[in-house]
């Protein structure tokens, strides 16, 4: 595919969405992730794996962060100790009280809940080479959801824009999966260049919702550009990582590495608006420093909290880079 048309107004990092004002999504899958497009990814999702046992080169295999812990254990029964039983299973309190050795019998949970959190704010509606960041995040979320349900685990998610948030509780059901994929397509379709200016949805509000749903032992995948993070964001990330398997998909555009000259970007905080011309070297350098500082802060969470970071570029096809990051090789097509 060639380069999609650059949408300068869509580069506004502080605008929102109103359903009544949204034009129909384009047919270009690089700009809008429609429901048929997202559904078409299901067969290709089998090329991924979110099971605890990861390939040696996978960023999830424990070299960079804690291994995925997999499904939890349910208490089944107490019974008397038999020769050959694992002594680590002895319940010492019951043993001391009765004078006879008892062990706790545990069984593996039949499934593990997964919560996929997807950023579809206006800061994500930007692309300079292949996809909009919003499309890359939506594709990655759909691929993960299809594969996780196929593995036998429960799947749900939170999809949020600047003015809306949709919650789908994790279930082992096709209905919940369809609701999640439809919410992805709906939120992505609301993004357009003429969206009215509103205050952005705080990431902290979304992470508080995640903490309410994923209290412990969930697989939580957050796909975002992490626009506007603060100390509360870090506290929430730290807490989620202690109680769950947390994976952060950091979605960027190639311009994050080098902002090109001659790009007119309109930025807004929801009330005030300004146009920035990147033709000026000092202006371009200031924007670069701001972007690099935000990305460095997020990447540092990997070191500080043991959270694996999956760097996803909107300048590459989604599935091949996910496979590469998970140590599965370059196979699979978008």
Comparing CA positions, the residue from 326, 321, 134 lying closest to residue 334 is: 321
Name the residue ranges covered by the structural domains of the chain. Answer: 9-66+111-325, 73-108
Residue 122 backbone phi and psi in degrees, to 5: -65, -25
| Stretch among 10-19, 172-181, 197-206 having the lowest mean pLDDT | 10-19
Q: Per residue in 231-246, pLDDT tens?
A: 999 999 999 999 999 9
Q: Per residue in 20-55, pLDDT tens?
A: 445 666 778 999 999 999 999 999 999 898 876 666
Measured torsion, CA atoms of residues 200, 205, 210, 212, in degrees rounded to the nearest 10: -160
Core vs surface per residue 73-99: b (16+ CB within 10 A) or e: eeeeeeeebeeeeeeeeebeeeeeeee
Q: What is the pTM of this model?
A: 0.74
Checking if the pLDDT of 267 tops 70, the result is: no
Query: What's the full length of the chain, in residues?
Result: 334
Residue 181, SS3 per DSSP = helix
The band of 84, judged by pLDDT with boundaries at 50, 70 and 90, is confident
8 A C-beta contact, residue 132 and residue 120: no
Choose between 323 and 53: higher pLDDT: 323
Comparing CA positions, the residue from 157, 180, 314 lying closest to residue 250 is: 314
The band of 10, judged by pLDDT with boundaries at 50, 70 and 90, is very low
Checking if the pLDDT of 151 tops 60, the result is: yes
pLDDT for the residue 25: 67
- In whole numbers, what is the pLDDT of the chain averaged over residues? 79
Provide mean pLDDT across the span 210-220: 94
pLDDT for the residue 73: 53
pLDDT for the residue 273: 42
pLDDT for the residue 50: 81
Beta pairing class for 219-224 and 154-160: unpaired
d(CA 66, CA 245): 8
d(CA 101, CA 83): 11
| Stretch among 77-81, 144-148, 250-254, 278-282 having the lowest mean pLDDT | 278-282
Cβ burial of 286 (10 Å; 0-12, 13-18, 19+) is middle
Q: Per residue in 92-131, pLDDT tens?
A: 898 898 988 988 866 555 578 999 999 999 999 988 889 9
Provide mean pLDDT across the span 155-170: 96
| Domain spanning 9-66+111-325, CATH architecture | 3-Layer(aba) Sandwich (3.40)
């Amino acid at each position: 595919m060639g380069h999609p048309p650059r949408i300068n107004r869509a580069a506004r990092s502080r605008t929102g969405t109103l359903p009544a004002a949204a034009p129909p999504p384009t047919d270009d899958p690089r700009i809008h992730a429609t429901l048929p497009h997202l559904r078409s990814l299901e067969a290709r999702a089998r090329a991924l794996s979110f099971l605890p046992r990861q390939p040696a080169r996978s960023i999830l295999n424990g070299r960079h962060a804690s291994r995925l812990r997999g499904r939890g254990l349910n208490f089944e029964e107490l019974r008397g100790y038999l020769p050959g039983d694992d002594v680590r299973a002895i319940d010492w309190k019951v043993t001391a009280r009765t004078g006879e050795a008892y062990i706790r019998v545990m069984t593996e949970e039949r499934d593990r809940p997964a919560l996929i959190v997807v950023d579809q704010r206006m800061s994500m509606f930007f692309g300079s080479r292949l996809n909009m960041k919003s499309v890359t995040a939506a594709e990655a979320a759909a691929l993960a959801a299809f594969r996780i349900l196929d593995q036998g685990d429960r799947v749900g998610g939170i999809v949020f824009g600047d003015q809306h948030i949709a919650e789908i509780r994790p279930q082992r059901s096709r209905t919940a999966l369809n609701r999640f994929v439809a919410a992805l397509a709906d939120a992505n379709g609301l993004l357009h260049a003429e969206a009215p200016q509103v205050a952005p949805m705080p990431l902290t509000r979304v992470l508080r919702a995640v903490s309410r749903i994923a209290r412990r032992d969930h697989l939580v995948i957050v796909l975002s550009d992490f626009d506007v993070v603060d100390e509360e964001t870090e506290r929430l990330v730290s807490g989620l990582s202690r109680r769950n398997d947390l994976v952060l998909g950091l979605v960027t555009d190639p311009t994050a590495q080098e902002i090109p000259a001659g790009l007119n970007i309109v930025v807004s905080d929801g009330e005030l608006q300004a146009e920035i011309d990147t033709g000026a070297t000092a202006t371009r350098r200031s924007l670069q420093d701001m972007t690099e500082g935000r990305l460095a802060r997020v990447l540092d969470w990997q070191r500080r909290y043991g959270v694996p970071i999956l760097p996803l570029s909107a300048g590459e096809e989604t599935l091949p880079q996910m496979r590469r990051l998970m140590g599965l090789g370059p196979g699979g097509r978008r």
